[in-house]
Structure 1
Amino acid sequence: MQIIYSTHNLSLPQSIATIGFFDGVHLGHQYLIKQLIAEAQKRQLASVVVTFSDHPANIIHNKRIELLTPLEEKLTLLSKENIDYCIVLPFTKELSALSARTFMEQILKKELNVHALYIGYDNRFGHRLSNKEGFEDYVSYGKECGVEIIEAKALLLKEIEISSSLIRNLLKEGNLSLANKLLGRPYTLVGNVTFGKRIGRTLGYPTANIKPAHQQKVIPSDGVYAVSVRLNGSRYRGMLNIGCRPTIKNGKTKTIEVHILDFQREVYQQDIELVFEKYLRKEIEFKDKKALIEQLQKDEETVRHFFENKKQP
């Protein structure tokens, strides 16, 4: 997949495209892209995904939207979908002011040489004042601009309409199992190991404190998780806690801490990736450290049992 960040003096072959923010590159996105690629191959045209560097709400509403996949992660996932080109447009106020018809004519047709456009079942684009427009309007504009409009089939999973916002909410609610199903893979979080107060060591469970690499990345619900840990090219098993450690810290500062099983080395200031495999329980305030340690031992047993019985991909 060739990634293109500027449409200035761009010369692309005739193509079939789809457009969207594609946060999470979830099963619904993947299904749309598969339809796009199949049609492109049938017509012997290039396949193009048009996406944006920033979430539209950040610009239009000055609203900070948490993301399932920041740009770099999103592009990595899209590159696995066998797309020919991915166009990353900077989402600016000027771009947001374009009507759907103008965007189709100036950007898609003139600059990107798009012959046909796949529209997702819930896809809308163009200035917010034109949000009442639907598929029939896009078909009409397309005829005027020379762009064929194709309505993509929607993917339903047990009658669930898959969306990025739904997955974000599921992660925040602690429903990791369904979130992972809709993503088509386990949710991941990349960060850097920072210096902590080494409280875990006094409990027999030394932890690595994680600072997320991206401030806008969705942090799953507080609680304890079974996670896979990717570190320096190797993969380990771990038990993760997200929360305020109420038994130790009186619930004031949220932390992300992972205890890597059967691991002794120092990993300060190293990059780490957490793969969220299973949600175990809510964070609990215990009456004393002894009760906390007893629960940590139970959590460890649960995590080990989970990985021993987990089917390997």
Structure 2
Amino acid sequence: MPPARMDITDEQTGTDGNRKQIYRQLELNIIYIKEGERPELPALAATIGFFDGVHRGHRFLIGRVVDEARRSGMASAVITFDRHPRQVLQADYQPELLTTLERKLQLLSETQVDNTLVLHFDRSLAALPARRFMDEVLRRQLNVRKLLIGYDNRFGHDRAEGFDDYVRYGQALGIEVVRADAFLPGGEKVSSSVIRDRIRRGDIASANRLLGYAYTIESTIVRGYGNGHRLGFPTANLDMAACRQLIPAAGVYAVAVRQKDSSEWRRGMMNIGTRPTFNGKAMSMEVNIFRFDGDIYDKPLAVSFIAKIRDERRFGSLEALAHQLEQDREAINHLFDAGQIRQQQMEARL
């Protein structure tokens, strides 16, 4: 079957209160678990993890949980955390995440899992050995009766124990513990760390293949230097400091762009780098949105990375740079028009 053509045409292409508002808008079955709280939950078949990116491997595991729940007459659940464990355990750790919490929860909502349970990760939770965690949190607090473990996943204090230990504890606690098969499409490992490495190298096509959708970041638009406007390619500058996600390697990218309060995606090209032709020093993210002249300053923008077009480089003149930008735009439009960008790359929405 040939790849689906993109629908993007050339013309249209916190706090607890904030969380509640987001969840209400998305109509998600999400329960934010407070310490010591025991929500009324049915018997659950569940899996646990941070699920950064909710990539193909995660969705394979979640599919297994849903199947196990149906076979056992239980409800299915994903148990995740509100922050990366290393943010709590390492004071100087700066996370380079694939998804914000809100984005992750929406991606989880697009699976068939019945419930998403969000635990507050702190030092007291991190200190629990696996058996106490299974007893006090999984069994007593969340009513987990079947636990599906990812092929290479570990939990508990210092991740010191493994699958055989979980099985033994589960037998004593009344929790059936099952290990999922490894998910290795084409013999390739799918993990958040592998995907992060691809994005850091600018290998967006490979990262998107492992994610199962186009890698998307979100940030607020701030005022820039106006260089793009003088060249005939006005750009929206994204606030790098406010971006809470991993920023791809320097270069020029084909992207699809959407304002947070809009459903319309537009084509564009993104430059990440230091603007060497203008003797720039600091890193910046600038996106030229094709055939768009609206005022979007101080507004959140979602940018989905489709493909890397070329590396950033210094040009001998502004005319040479403008000529290259014309060629870049033509190449990006060709990608969209030729149907080389699959519809599934844009299916994960913000």
| 2:135 is the alignment partner of 1:108 | no
Could you tell me how far apart the structure 2 residues matched to 1:286 and 1:46 are? 59
- Render the CA deviation track for 1:46-77: whole Å, top value 9, x for unaligned: 10111001101111222222100110000000
User: Shift of the alpha carbon at 1:266?
Assistant: 2.4
Alignment of 1:176-187 (within 5 A): 176-187=204-215
Q: 1:118 to 1:219 in 2, by over 3 A?
A: same
Q: Flag the structure with higher strand content.
A: 1
Could you tell me how far apart the structure 2 residues matched to 1:312 and 1:169 are? 23
2:200 pairs with one of 162, 172, 176: 172
AA aligned to 1:3 is I
TM superposition score normalised by structure 2? 0.86
Alignment of 1:270-285 (within 5 A): 270-285=299-314
State whether residues 190 and 273 of structure 1, in contact with CA within 8 Å, keep that contact through their aligned partners in structure 2: yes
Could you tell me how far apart the structure 2 residues matched to 1:78 and 1:286 are? 44
State whether residues 246 and 284 of structure 1, in contact with CA within 8 Å, keep that contact through their aligned partners in structure 2: yes
User: Shift of the alpha carbon at 1:212?
Assistant: 5.1
In the other structure, the counterpart of 1:306 is 335
Could you tell me how far apart the structure 1 residues matched to 2:121 and 2:217 are? 25
RMSD: 1.4
1:225 pairs with one of 253, 266, 273: 253
What is the count of residue pairs matched by the alignment?
Answer: 310
In the other structure, the counterpart of 1:2 is 29
2:274 pairs with one of 244, 250, 262: 244
| Structure 1 alignment gaps of length 5 or more | none
| 2:212 is the alignment partner of 1:189 | no
- Render the CA deviation track for 1:21-69: whole Å, top value 9, x for unaligned: 0000000000000000011112110101110011011112222221001
1:123 pairs with one of 153, 156, 180: 153
TM superposition score normalised by structure 1? 0.96
| 2:185 is the alignment partner of 1:157 | yes
| 2:162 is the alignment partner of 1:134 | yes
Could you tell me how far apart the structure 2 residues matched to 1:21 and 1:150 are? 19
* Bigger RCO of structures 1 and 2 (CA < 8 A, at least 6 apart): 2
In the other structure, the counterpart of 1:264 is 293
Could you tell me how far apart the structure 2 residues matched to 1:26 and 1:247 are? 37
User: Shift of the alpha carbon at 1:312?
Assistant: 5.6
| 2:324 is the alignment partner of 1:295 | yes
Identity of matched residues, %? 44
In the other structure, the counterpart of 1:37 is 66
User: Shift of the alpha carbon at 1:191?
Assistant: 1.6
Q: Which moved more, 1:208-217 or 1:226-235?
A: 208-217
Could you tell me how far apart the structure 2 residues matched to 1:39 and 1:213 are? 42
Q: Which moved more, 1:25-34 or 1:82-91?
A: 82-91
| 2:45 is the alignment partner of 1:13 | no
